[in-house]
Amino acid sequence: MSLVIVGSIALDSVTTPYGEVDKVLGGSAIYASMASKHFCKTHVVGVVGEDFSKNYICMLQENDICCKGIKFVPGKTFYWKGAYNDMNRAETLDTQLNVFADFDPIIPTDYRKCEYLFLGNIDPELQLRVLNQMDNTKITACDTMNFWIDCQREKLLEVISKIDILFINDDEAKMLTGEHNIFGAAEAAGKLGPQLIVIKRGEYGSMAVTEDFIFFAPVYPVKNVIDPTGAGDSFAGGFMGYLATQKNYNKTSIKNAMIYGTVMASFNIESFSLNKLIEIDLKDIEARKESVINSIQL
């Protein structure tokens, strides 16, 4: 089965205690795709400007990611500049939407039959437009952020009512539902529509909450976190990519997807940009998966 990923494609300038990089490849769609591509055929949809290097497209294609959905338009690529003093929280220093401001995601015809869809963190209005273009989805998922919860609440609730899986972090889940307790928030979020709520908790791991069960995934203990940018997106990409390989969508596949998401995020934070995700293979992923499972097995 194959996966469509829609989201931002960015050039990022990032400073962490371990160094800095200037205008490197990033964005939710890219991080998620470079994680999911290890598991399933991945199709990416996004927009870039004239300054976007063709080498990036080549790199994505070499990684077997279909780039037909990436549109080149006049202008500059979405730019984000951030710094991490505390590795758990990015400080945004600059955001230039550029071509992303007028992004209107058009799903290529041959993507529309794909069964799996991940909507990265973009305007819920656009997430809805994508949902309406898909013909045959089995599992749809979306991510979001505080900005949309605040400013596009109604549209966001409409998206959430239509998808199967919501990826969201602790604070955003509380903000979305008005609940102060994270377990109350997860339960309340489930009542908005999705069968599955995946709460992302940064260095504390993640949890999957459905009506029937709760599952806690730890983190892989990375001692040298170089750059947390894209951790949530690579988590979601690994999760959705693995799920797309599974015949059944059930407790077991969800738990395993949580572990694969954890593993992909752990690789991602070990380097700037996509450097680590490019370099690893399935053997590395499986080895780390075993290690993560061992750290929660009695």
The footprint of its own copies (CB under 8 A) covers 17, 87, 180-184, 187, 201, 203-205, 207, 213-216, 218, 221-225, 252, 255-256, 259, 293-298
For residue 296, the minimal CB distance to its own copies (Å) is: 4
Q: For residues 154 and 149, give the distance between their C-alpha atoms in angstroms, rounded to a whole number.
A: 9
What 3-state class would DSSP assign to 280? coil
Based on CB atoms, which residue is closest to its own copies, 135 or 203? 203
Q: For residues 6 and 28, give the distance between their C-alpha atoms in angstroms, rounded to a whole number.
A: 8
Are 199 and 262 in contact by the 8 Å Cβ rule? The answer is no
What 3-state class would DSSP assign to 207? strand
For residue 256, the minimal CB distance to its own copies (Å) is: 7
| Contact residues for 33 (Cβ-Cβ < 8 A; gap 6+) | 5, 42, 44, 60, 65, 237
For residue 271, the minimal CB distance to its own copies (Å) is: 16
Based on CB atoms, which residue is closest to its own copies, 248 or 297? 297
| Contact residues for 292 (Cβ-Cβ < 8 A; gap 6+) | 217, 218, 220, 259, 262, 263, 266
Based on CB atoms, which residue is closest to its own copies, 184 or 190? 184
What 3-state class would DSSP assign to 296? coil
Based on CB atoms, which residue is closest to its own copies, 61 or 181? 181
Q: Which of 179, 169, 213, 181 is CA-nearest to residue 195? A: 213
For residue 220, the minimal CB distance to its own copies (Å) is: 10
For residue 14, the minimal CB distance to its own copies (Å) is: 18
Based on CB atoms, which residue is closest to its own copies, 132 or 294? 294
Based on CB atoms, which residue is closest to its own copies, 159 or 292? 292
Q: For residues 234 and 226, give the distance between their C-alpha atoms in angstroms, rounded to a whole number.
A: 15
